[in-house]
Structures are given as structure tokens and as C-alpha cells.
């Protein structure tokens, strides 16, 4: 069974540029999460989807971040414009339903210069 797929694995951009991350969850997983992880810290939830509905986006900085999960399968997280402080690892995870075991992707390491 294929795991959670994320792309790209690494991204370097200049500040004020846009960037997008893509995630393909495990087939059949209804719940999809996007996290941000800074060095030495735990993952911080940005947004949680139940199928195609964003049920928890309270931690998503909506002035520059946006996300979508069309058709309730894969998802895209976008930052526009990026700031230096956005440099971090962006993790995607999926689970069969809310509150059970999550499967994490390898993450996208973003560096904003």
C-alpha cells in the first residue's frame, strides 16, 4: 500500500514569491491534515479536512495561506506571498477518520530567502 505522497520534497524561494505544496493521501482516508513543523518543535496543525470540507482551519494564517481538497482526495497548500518566517517543514497526514492513527508523508522543506 502506497503511503502519503508529498511534493516537492524541497523548495527554495525568495520572499514575496508564491509557493504550493501537494499531498496525495492514502486511498480511502477521509481525513487529511496539514501541519507546519519548525526545527526542534512538534507539528502545528494548520488545517484539517473531512473529505472535501475544511473542518478546522483556525490555525491557518488566512491572509497568506490557502488550501483546497477538491473531490476529497488530494490537497494543495499555498502560500502567497511567502515570508522569511515561513521557512519550515510542511507535513501532510491522513487517517481513516478523525482522531485515529495518522499516517504522515515525508514533508516538504521550505526555505524562504
Partner 1 sequence: SQQGEEDPQALSIQEGENATMNCSYKTSINNLQWYRQNSGRGLVHLILIRSNEREKHSGRLRVTLDTSKKSSSLLITASRAADTASYFCATGEDMRFGAGTRLTVKP
Write out the residues near partner 1 by the rule CB under 8 A. Answer: 33, 35, 40-45, 48, 56, 91, 93, 98-107
Nearer Cβ to partner 1 (82/105): 105
Least distance to partner 1, CB of residue 77, Å: 16
DSSP category for residue 69: -
Three cell numbers, residue 77? 497548500
* Whole-angstrom distance, CA of residue 45 vs CA of residue 34: 6
Cα–chain center distance at 78: 9
Least distance to partner 1, CB of residue 16, Å: 28
Least distance to partner 1, CB of residue 80, Å: 25
94 and 48 in contact (C-beta within 8 Å)?
no
Nearer Cβ to partner 1 (77/82): 77
Amino acid at each position: 500500500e502506497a503511503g502519503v505522497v508529498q511534493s516537492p520534497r524541497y523548495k527554495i524561494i525568495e520572499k514575496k514569491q508564491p509557493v504550493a505544496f501537494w499531498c496525495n493521501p492514502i486511498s480511502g482516508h477521509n481525513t487529511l491534515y496539514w501541519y507546519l513543523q519548525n526545527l526542534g518543535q512538534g507539528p502545528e496543525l494548520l488545517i484539517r479536512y473531512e473529505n472535501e470540507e475544511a473542518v478546522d482551519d483556525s490555525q491557518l494564517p488566512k491572509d497568506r495561506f490557502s488550501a483546497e481538497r477538491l473531490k476529497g482526495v488530494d490537497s494543495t497548500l499555498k502560500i502567497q506571498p511567502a515570508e522569511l518566517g515561513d521557512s519550515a517543514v510542511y507535513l501532510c497526514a491522513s487517517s481513516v477518520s478523525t482522531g485515529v492513527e495518522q499516517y504522515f508523508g515525508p514533508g516538504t522543506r521550505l526555505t524562504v530567502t
